Amino acid sequence: MPPLQIGGAWRRLLRIGGIVAVVLIITTFLVQTKFTSFTPSSLRSYAHSSPQRLHILIPATSANYNLCQLLISAALLGYPAPVLVNWADHEDGDEMKQHITKITGVMKYIQALPEDQKDDLIFMLDGFDTWFQLPMEFIIKKYHEVMAKAHLHHLQIFGAELVKEHNIKNTVLFGPDKRCSPNGPEDPGCWAVPQSWVEKMSFGPLTDSGDSMYDRPRWLNSGTIIGPARDFANISQAALDTVARHHVTDSDQYYFSSVFGTQSYARKQLKLSYDDAHGINDTELETIPPQKHRLPEMKPGNRTEFYMGLDWESSLFQTAAYYGDYVAWVRFNTTSEYVRKTSQSINPHHHFTLPNNMAGSGPMSVSEARQIDPALASWSRLPLAVNTVTRHVPVIIHINGKKGYRYLWWPRNWFYPYIDQMLHRQRQSGLRNSGEQRDALAGAWTFSNGTRGWVEWNDVCAKYENRLMGKHVLSE
C-alpha cells in the first residue's frame, strides 16, 4: 500500500500562530492475524475457532496477600495455572531497566512462544490489586463482544472504506480510566484519544466537567490488557521504543498511553485527509488541537496503527478509581422481583437485569451446588459487582486508586463465604499438577530471563488461605 499523503487537513491542523506548515506521511502496516477479516460475523466465528488459548500473565517477583487474592480467585473459578512473569527476579541496578521490566518480561515470554501460538490471546494483569469475578468463558465472550462493538463504532466514525483500507480495528484492549495519569494534559495520550463510549450525562449534570469522579472513562489503564500475542508484542515494542527515545518516568502506563495517543491522532488524520479529498468540511475543533498541547512524534515510514482500544464500558475490566459510588453488589433475583412488583411506580433507569449470557447458569452445576449451597447453581442468586452506569458485570475487579478497597471489597465477592468449602471440594476431586495443563490451585508457572519453571501453591499462597477466608491469624 502506498504511503498516505496528508494534504489540506494537515495544513488546517497546523494553522496555529508561529507554526510552519509541514507535510506528514503516515504509512499504515497490515499485520496478518486471524483478525484480518474484521466483521462482526467473522468475530463470532473466530470466538468459536479452535484452539482458543489464553495465556494469563501476571508480572510478580514475589508473593504476598494481595497477589494471593488474585491467585485464589483464579483457583476458585477454575482457571488454568497462570504464569508469574519475572518471578524471583532481583531488581536491576540500572534504573531504566527497573522501570521497564514489566514490559520486557512479557515481551520475552511472547518471543519464546512457538509460531503457532503467536495469535493466542495474552491476558496480562497487575498482580497486587486485581482479582477475578467470573470464569474464563466470559473473558473470551466479552472480549469478542467489545471488539465487535468497536468495529461498528469505527464504521460509523471513519466509514467502511477507511476501515477496510487501513485495517482500523481494536484487537488489544486495555482497561479504562477516569483520569489521565501519569501523562500530563498536553500529552497526546490525554487529549488526542477518542471520547468515551459511555453515554453522555451518565454521571449526572457534572459529567465530563473535569472532576474525575464525574468524568466518563476515556483514558488508558495498563493494569489489565488482553489481545493476540503478536499484536501485544508490537505495542510493547513501540512502548519500549518510546522509553528509549524519551525516558521520563517509571510508569509503563505512560508509555502505553503515548502509543495509544499517537494511534488515535493518526486515525484522526486519516479521516481528515479523506474528508478533505472528498470535499467534506470539518469543524475547527476537529482540525486544530489546543495550542498548548503537544503533537505526537510521527516520522515518515513509522508505524502508527497498533489495533489498540479500551474496554470503555467495563464489560471486562472494572477499575476502582473514582468508581466508588458507581459499583454495587447486586443479587439479580432480588432486583428482578422488586422490579416486577414495582414496575408501575419506579424509574426504569434503576432496573437491573442479569445479562443474557449469564442467565440460566451459575459457577456450579445443580448437583455440585447442592454439596455447598444451591445458590451456586445460578448467577442470579449471587451478589455480583456491577457497574451501575453501564450495567455490565465485569470479569475482573482492578483496585487502582485507593488501595484500601482491596480489603473493603474482598468480602463482598460472591465466592467469599464459600472459599473453604470450594477449596476442599477441588482438592477432594483431585488437582491437575503435572503436564502442560495444570490447575491454578496446584500452583503457577514461572517465567524469568527466558526460562520457564513451576512453583507450588503451598510455596506461594497456602499460608494466606485463612486470612483470605476471613479467619484472622496472628502470624503468617
DSSP 8-class letter at 178: S
The span from the CA of 363 to the CA of 384, in Å, is: 12
Identify whether the C-beta of residue 264 lies closer than 8 Å to the C-beta of residue 309: no
Distance between CA atoms of 254 and 260, rounded to whole angstroms?
A: 10
CA dist 201 and 217 (Å) reads 12
Question: Using 50, 70 and 90 to split pLDDT, how confident is the model at 33?
Answer: very low
- This prediction has a pTM of 0.86
C-alpha to C-alpha distance for 437 and 81, rounded to whole angstroms: 8
Query: CA nearest 433: which of 425, 423, 422, 445?
Result: 445
Residue partners of 281: CB distance under 8 A and separation at least 6: 275
Q: What is the mean pLDDT of residues 439-460?
A: 97
Tell me the average pLDDT across 3-28: 33
CA distance 142 to 259: 24
C-alpha cell at 214: 464525574
Confidence of residue 2 (pLDDT cuts 50, 70, 90): very low
pLDDT tens for 345-372 read 555 556 788 999 899 999 999 999 999 9
Rounded Cα gap, residues 7 and 226, in angstroms = 36
Cell readout for 78 is: 477454575
pLDDT surpasses 90 at 298: no
How many Cβ atoms are within 10 Å of 381's Cβ, its own excluded?
17
Higher pLDDT, 245 or 123: 123
Q: What is the pLDDT of residues 457-469, one digit of tens each?
A: 999 999 999 999 9
